[in-house]
Amino acid sequence: MTTFPIEKIRADFPILQEKIRNKPLVYLDNAASCQKPQQVIDSIVHCYSHEYANVHRGVHTLSVKATDRYEGAREKVKDFINAQSTKEIVFVRGATEAINLIAQTFGKSNIKAGDEILITAMEHHSNIVPWQMLCAETGAILKVAPINLQGELIYAEFEKLITDKTRLVSVVHMSNALGTVNPVEKIIAAAKAKNIPVLLDGAQAIPHMAVDVQALDCDFYVFSGHKLYAPSGIGVMYGKQALLEAMPPYQGGGDMIRKVTFEETEYNALPYKFEAGTPSIADVIGLGAAIDYLNDIGMDNIAAYEAELLNYATVKAKQIKGLRLIGEAQEKGAILSFVLDKIHPHDIGTMLDSLGIAIRAGHHCAMPVMDFFEVPATARASFAMYNTKEEVDVLINGIESLIEIFG
Amino acid sequence: MFDDLRDLYQEVIFDHNRNPRNFHVMQDADRKVEGFNPLCGDRLTLFLKMDGDKITDASFQGSGCAISTASVSLMTEIIKGKTEAEAEDLFSKFHEMTTGKSKEINLEAIGKLAVLAGVREYPARVKCATLAWHTLDAAIKNEQDSISTE
Ligand SMILES: Cc1ncc(COP(=O)(O)O)c(C=O)c1O
């Protein structure tokens, strides 16, 4: 591996030059949302300054240009996750909307009373609540595979929960609260053996590793742009073409139709069937720019760099007396969730903020995970490709000092 | 190192966080109300002993951040011997102080509670300081929600 171009990368992210409370910003809240490189910002400015019009509608030059850019971004997403076709790439608002879309379309047409949906105990609320809503409507049953004290899925238990009644397996690829990367290959193989479709919530995994949906052979893969260095308000639902063809539309409106009369409506082809209304055009283009940016660096290089960073941070954190890591899975992404003896995560968050360090303190939209570890909340430092070992040192020093003054 | 935070985390707050006052279950409480802040998961149970409309004793249980622990600890000290009306009056003064509605801090009226004035500068932490008082308010207003041990 050639050396990771960390300095160049940092220079590309203007916000990293900001001072917070008069200290250089150390941004370690990337799992919540990450920052944007100049290239992404420029792509949006360029769109609105030179190439903006509505897409798929006009014969005029600008609309054709905007449509080209918009569809070009879809092509980039397709290549980025190695989908077979752009028909399988549906733009949505984010991972949350993608899961709701699947629950309301695929779910409603395939899942009936007594059927089972299988998730894990480490899901984000967005991969729990839509299924609870579906279960309440249909009488289906939500099954939850347990985790162990390292924060790993107990695979043997998971396997036992796949039954003849299971209609969908929906699991998080990488947990936002724990950092755990699930054994998705095994999970998918086990589900496929019984012809059960698998949805992967890739919201956290996507910025940290190369994802190949064909190699994985998952049926759905969802993620948000804002955690992938792209704008907020845009995300992707990947679905296998055959499944998407069979699914009813989600919302009705413009763009998702081929022909409308008052008697009947013929729906548009994929992926437009699921994209009712004017989309977030500039943000989609921004997502394309983010993917270009990441491809230039290489996802495998990013994964290797972040693994080293996480390892460095983990070793240092473990040396702090009174610090307990929450989530110590063998397979883990660049997230460090922790609690301190007798110091509440919110105090940690405020204290670190005064040093310019942004971390998250709270339940991370995974209250069942907090209950499992019997903590009200955790402090979470989550890393991105632009973070450095020096920043880890600032964090570790900050934690040590705040422990001291809490006494 | 944490110079900027001196207004927020005053020594009194650390002290009450380390050694919370009136931190126990009250078996013969006349009122028992739970307070919950879903945003941060802070939970507390407030116990009151009443004599007519006078609060004769107060205690609490629960876990929270330093600000919320210190706030409830200080509150249980200060409301002892106060009538319900006096306690409510204190709540509104405290509320004005912590939300920054009144810039002037009336030290005479608010006493020790003034150490919590620093949260004004930290909007994300105001709720930590006011949870105790909202719980007290519920205990005073919503008698049907409170559990009588008699
Ligand atoms: C694992 C996981 N799934 C889903 C989501 C929801 O993403 P969004 O809020 O962008 O829709 C998140 C966001 O925190 C997440 O971490």
Task: For residue A141, list its beta bridge partners.
Answer: A116
Residue closest to A224 by CA, chosen among A142, A341, A114, A127: A127
- Do the Cβ atoms of A376 and B42 come within 8 Å? yes
| CA gap A60, B54 in Å, rounded | 77
pLDDT for res B46: 96
In Å, the largest CA–CA distance within chain B is 52
Q: Do B67 and A405 touch (CB under 8 A)?
A: no
Q: Which of A176, A335, A360, A382 to mutate to test the pocket of ligand 1 (most atoms within 8 A of CB)?
A: A176
Contacts of A328 (CB under 8 A, 6+ apart): A150, A151
Q: For residue A257, what pLDDT is reported?
A: 81
Largest Cα separation within chain A, whole Å, is 74
Can you give the pLDDT at residue B107?
75
pLDDT score recorded for residue B63? 86
Any chain A CB within 8 A of the CB of B40? yes
State chain A's mean pLDDT as an integer.
96
| Chain A closest-CA separation from residue B88 CA (Å) | 28
Domain housing B99? 2-144
Q: Is residue B32 part of a domain?
A: yes
pLDDT greater than 70 at residue A126: yes
The neighbouring-strand residues paired with B33 are B46
How far is Cα of residue B64 from the mean position of the Cα atoms in its chain? 12
Nearest CA in chain B to A402: B2
Q: For position B42, which CATH number holds? A: 3.90.1010.10
Q: How confident is the model at residue A161 (pLDDT cuts 50, 70, 90)?
A: very high
CA of A224 to the centre of ligand 1 (A): 7
Lowest mean pLDDT segment, chosen from A1-5, A139-143, A194-198, A284-288 = A1-5
Residue B134 within a domain: yes
Residues of chain B with pLDDT under 70: 143-150
CA separation for the pair A365, A250 (Å, rounded):
25
Q: Do B66 and A343 touch (CB under 8 A)?
A: yes
Residue B143's pLDDT is: 56
User: What is the tens place of the pLDDT at every residue in A66-91?
Assistant: 999 999 999 999 999 999 999 999 99
Round to whole Å and give the CA distance between A80 and B84.
Answer: 64
Q: Is residue A135 flagged as an active site residue?
A: no
Class of residue A115 by CB neighbours under 10 A (exposed 0-12, middle 13-18, buried 19+): buried
For chain A, say whether B11 makes contact (Cβ under 8 Å).
no
pLDDT of residue A163: 97
Which residue from A354, A376, A402 is facing B41, i.e. has the nearest CB? A376
Give tens-digit pLDDT for A329-382.
999 999 999 999 999 999 999 999 999 999 999 888 899 999 999 998 999 999
Check residue B150 and give its pLDDT: 35
Residue A327 has pLDDT above 50, yes or no: yes
The per-residue pLDDT for range A274-289, each reduced to its tens digit, is 999 999 999 999 999 9
B33 within a domain of the structure (yes/no): yes
State the number of CA atoms in the 13 A half-sphere of A236 facing the CB. Answer: 34
Q: What ipTM was predicted for this assembly?
A: 0.87
For residue B15, the CA-to-ligand 1 centroid distance in Å is 39
Residue nearest to atom 7 of ligand 1 (CA): A95
pLDDT in tens, A199-231: 999 999 999 999 999 999 999 999 999 999 999
- Chain A positions in Cβ-Cβ contact with residue B9 (cut-off 8 Å): 347, 351, 405
- Indicate whether A406 pLDDT > 60: yes
Closest-approach residue (CA) in chain A for B65: A344
Is B139 a domain residue?
yes
- The answer as to whether B133 is a domain residue is yes
- Which residues, judged by CB distance below 6 Å to any ligand atom, belong to the binding site of ligand 1? A 94-96, 124, 126-127, 172, 176, 201, 203-204, 224, 226, 365
Task: Specify the pLDDT at position B23.
Answer: 97
Q: What percent of chain A has pLDDT over 90?
A: 91
Three-state SS across A263-291? Answer: CCEEECCCCHHHCCCCCCHHHHHHHHHHH
- pLDDT higher than threshold 70 for residue A168: yes
- Is residue B41 in a domain? yes
CB atoms within 10 A of CB A236: 29
Please indicate, yes or no, if residue B103 is contained in any of the structural domains.
Answer: yes
Cβ contacts of B18 on chain A, cutoff 8 Å? 407
Instruction: Report yes or no: A5 and A14 within 8 Å, Cβ to Cβ.
Output: no
From chain A, the residues in CB contact with B128 under 8 A are 346
Closest to B41 (Cβ–Cβ): which among A363, A402, A407? A363
- Domains in chain B, number: 1
Position B149 in a domain: no
Q: Full-prediction pTM beyond 0.90?
A: yes
pLDDT at A407: 74
**Ligand 1 centroid to residue A95 C-alpha, Å:** 6
pLDDT at A250 over 50: yes
